[in-house]
Amino acid sequence: MSRANKALVVLVVAALGLWGCAQGPANSAEKIKSLEGKVSKLEEDYKAATAARDAVKKKLAALEEETAKKQQELDQQLTARTAERDTAQAQFQQFRKSLRTLLGQAEAAIAAPAQPAAATTVSIDPNKS
């Protein structure tokens, strides 16, 4: 290859390089504008998602508080019902003891020999109705 051919190849490569560099910034400007638009859209989406997350957190906190109150009410009702049950059970046990005592007394009275009762005379007056 002669010197002239080498110079010609270098010149063509340099010209193509300059042409490519000249084309780059125009496409870069469009890409930059496109990317800036995407970034702004993503920032808006991020703000919307953050606001939605905060709203959901507040709602969750309110629901947890309500659940805690309901649980406390249920616990109080359970305590009250348990006390009522225990009271009723104690009354039932006392009633059973009283019945047993009365049955024992009745059986004792039946088993004991009958004592003669004082004789009482009742006069029936036919004039009285």
Round to whole Å and give the CA distance between 129 and 27.
132
Sorting pLDDT into bands at 50, 70 and 90, what band is 115? Answer: low
Of the candidates 2, 6, 26, the one whose C-alpha atom is nearest the C-alpha of residue 14 is: 6
Q: Which residues of 54-67 are buried (b: 16+ CB within 10 A; e: fewer)?
A: eeeeeeeeeeeeee
pLDDT tens digits, 64-88: 999 999 999 999 999 999 999 999 9
Q: What share of the chain is helix, strand, coil (3-state, %, to 5)?
A: 85, 0, 15
